[in-house]
Amino acid sequence: MSDKTSSVNAWEALFRAQVSVLRQLNAEFPTDELSFNEYDVLFNLSRQPERQLRIRDLNRHLLLTQPSVSRLVDRLVGRDLVRKEPDPGDGRGTVVCLTDAGYDLFRRVAVVHAESIHRRVGGALTTDELRELARLTDKLRLNAPIDD
């Protein structure tokens, strides 16, 4: 196990890098049709089987509070980019589903956004460093406790 100072220094470096990259990606975000957070919802839904998730599970993928996610989803419903359905396994729950229109918009934006990510992240690291970064960040994420 590493010492406390090394852990804190590594966290600060990771956190500062994330803030810096996110600020630039947000500034370069390629569309006025979606906010960065709305894109994140569509991105997360696009990666799920049948492009849907319980809203409770969607909350775990986003860096927003539960009330903020609910309001964001409601705005996306109003634009026909997602729809809400009752959870068939739990009548109290809600499932958020990506509509075809939402998926089409996500894909159009994702192509341009991926170029921005590639310039900012891929331009700073070699292919081997990118693989190592993905391995290390996955290790950190998978070691974190899950809140229920």
Going by C-alpha positions, the residue among 49, 52, 69 that lies closest to residue 60 is 69
Cβ distance 94 to 84 under 8 Å? yes
Round the average pLDDT of the chain to a whole number and report it: 90
Domains of the chain: residue spans and CATH: 4-142 (1.10.10.10)
Cβ distance 79 to 32 under 8 Å? no
pTM score, whole prediction: 0.83
Q: How far is CA 25 from the centre of its chain?
A: 13
Residues 6+ apart with CB under 8 A from 136: none
Averaged pLDDT, 119-135: 95
- Under the banding of pLDDT at 50, 70 and 90, the label for residue 46 is very high
58-77 pLDDT per residue, tens:
988 887 777 788 899 999 99
Residue 148 has pLDDT above 60, yes or no: no
